[in-house]
């Protein structure tokens, strides 16, 4: 029987990391390998403790961190489940643009209009940010998101997205346009890709003439420029998104802790 300090003969994490962090790493490996799919339950703490030969308390601490990171969801009396972007509490996790009045729930989902979509070769900048080689295939999509304001949908976000071609083989702009649910939920269900975290850079910019026209704004309207890189497990970049946000009826909101 292995001791509490040795949960597995083959750990990819350093030996000096806290034990619960090692268990967290092993659970992440199983999530990445697809052993437990989004929306499915994972084994109980007792089962995982036996599997990794550690205490339930160690497993609980690892699961607590994964739940805090929105990778797992605890449901009282039902167990622990792999988080999915189809869940209401996860759906808006990466949406930081909030209406000035009401909430994202009362505002309802955005109307999405695909302006353009095509497969092309990644330039050096896009390739670097997505961890690809220059010239690798990517899907580029431009779309406008419009939100309801007093019953009228107002163009609010103009986004350019780049997705690596190999993991998203078969995805088209038409498929994105036809899907009415959360885009990341579709990525999970159809391509087995779960976005688990994102990094953003924000600055104030002036739109060019085409961008202002798509957002139906005067050319000299200041906008928020938000560049986001979304990652799947093990910090693998899976999406580059560059958005222009109109803040006439919305504001960017982030919680710091």
Cα distances (Å, whole numbers) of residue 30 to 26, 41, 79, 104: 6, 13, 17, 33
Provide the CATH number for the domain around residue 232: 3.40.1410.10
Is there a single domain that holds both residue 138 and residue 240? yes
Residues whose CB falls within 8 Å of the CB of residue 144, separated by 6 or more in sequence, listed in order: 112, 113, 115, 155, 157, 158, 159, 214, 215
Is there a single domain that holds both residue 71 and residue 49? yes
| pLDDT digit string, tens, across residues 60-99 | 999 999 988 888 889 888 899 988 776 554 444 566 788 8
CA 175 vs. chain centroid, Å, equals: 19
Is there a single domain that holds both residue 233 and residue 160? yes
Distance CA 162, CA 240 (A): 5
- Domain limit, last residue, from 82, 109, 134: 82
- State the residue range of the domain holding 168: 96-252
Is there a single domain that holds both residue 126 and residue 196? yes
**C-alpha atoms less than 13 angstroms from C-alpha of 122 in its C-beta half-sphere:** 23
Largest distance between two CA atoms of the chain: 71
- Cβ proximity of 40 and 79 under 8 Å: no
| pLDDT digit string, tens, across residues 186-239 | 898 889 888 888 999 999 999 999 999 999 999 889 999 999 999 998 889 999
Residue 80: Cβ within 10 Å count = 20
pTM reported for the whole predicted model: 0.76
The answer as to whether 91 is a domain residue is: no
């Amino acid at each position: 029987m292995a001791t509490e300090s040795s949960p597995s003969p083959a750990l990819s994490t350093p030996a000096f990391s806290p034990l619960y962090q090692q268990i967290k790493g092993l659970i992440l490996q199983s999530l990445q390998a697809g052993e437990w799919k989004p929306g499915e339950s994972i084994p109980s703490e007792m089962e995982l403790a036996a599997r990794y030969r550690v205490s339930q308390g160690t497993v609980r601490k690892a699961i607590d961190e994964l739940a805090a990171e929105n990778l797992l969801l605890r449901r009282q009396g039902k167990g622990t489940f792999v988080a999915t972007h189809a869940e209401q509490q996860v759906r808006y996790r990466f949406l930081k643009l909030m209406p000035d009045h009401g909430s994202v729930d009362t505002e309802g989902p955005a109307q999405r209009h695909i302006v353009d979509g095509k497969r092309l070769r990644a330039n050096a900048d896009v390739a670097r940010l997505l961890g690809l080689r220059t010239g690798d295939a990517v899907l580029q999509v431009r779309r406008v998101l419009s939100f309801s304001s007093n019953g009228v949908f107002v163009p609010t976000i103009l986004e350019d997205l780049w997705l690596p071609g190999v993991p998203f083989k078969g995805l088209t702009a038409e498929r994105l346009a036809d899907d009415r649910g959360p885009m990341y939920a579709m990525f999970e269900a159809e391509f087995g890709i779960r976005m688990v975290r994102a990094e953003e850079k924000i600055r104030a910019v002036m739109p060019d003439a085409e961008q202002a026209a798509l957002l139906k704004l005067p050319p000299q309207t200041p906008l928020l420029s938000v560049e986001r890189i979304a990652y799947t497990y093990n910090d693998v970049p899976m999406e580059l998104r560059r958005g222009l946000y109109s803040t006439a009826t919305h504001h960017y909101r982030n919680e710091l802790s």
